[in-house]
Amino acid sequence: MATELTPQERDAALARLPGWTFHQQENSLQRAFEFADFSEAFGVMTRIAIEAEKLGHHPEWRNVYNLLQIRLTTHDAGNAVTALDVALAERIGSFV
């Protein structure tokens, strides 16, 4: 089972994840995206959905038209940031 990253591990991961920030209060990695329109936003969401299923780890996300907000945390680890969140953020970063 994934365990919470230490602050050092988390900071090292964030240094490799441009655009992502750690939100202390919500204990999660977060990133907001703005696309050209809904079609582009949902296209990216579909790619993320496929990666999430492959990883067995899913985002919390909110979409309004061309805007997408993603929050990554691991519920099984007591809502903490784990290597699974970093892995999903890396995959998202590879195509957005």
Which residue in 5, 14, 29, 52 binds a copy of itself (CB under 8 A)? 52
Nearer to a copy of itself, 16 or 75 (CB): 75
Q: Does 34 bind a copy of itself (CB under 8 A)?
A: no
Three-class SS of the chain: CCCCCCHHHHHHHHHCCCCCEEECCCCEEEEEEECCCHHHHHHHHHHHHHHHHHHCCCCEEEEECCEEEEEECEHHHCCECCHHHHHHHHHHHHHC
Which residue in 40, 61, 83, 93 binds a copy of itself (CB under 8 A)? 61
Instruction: Give me the residues that bind a copy of itself (CB under 8 A), please.
Output: 38-39, 42, 45-46, 49, 52-53, 58-65
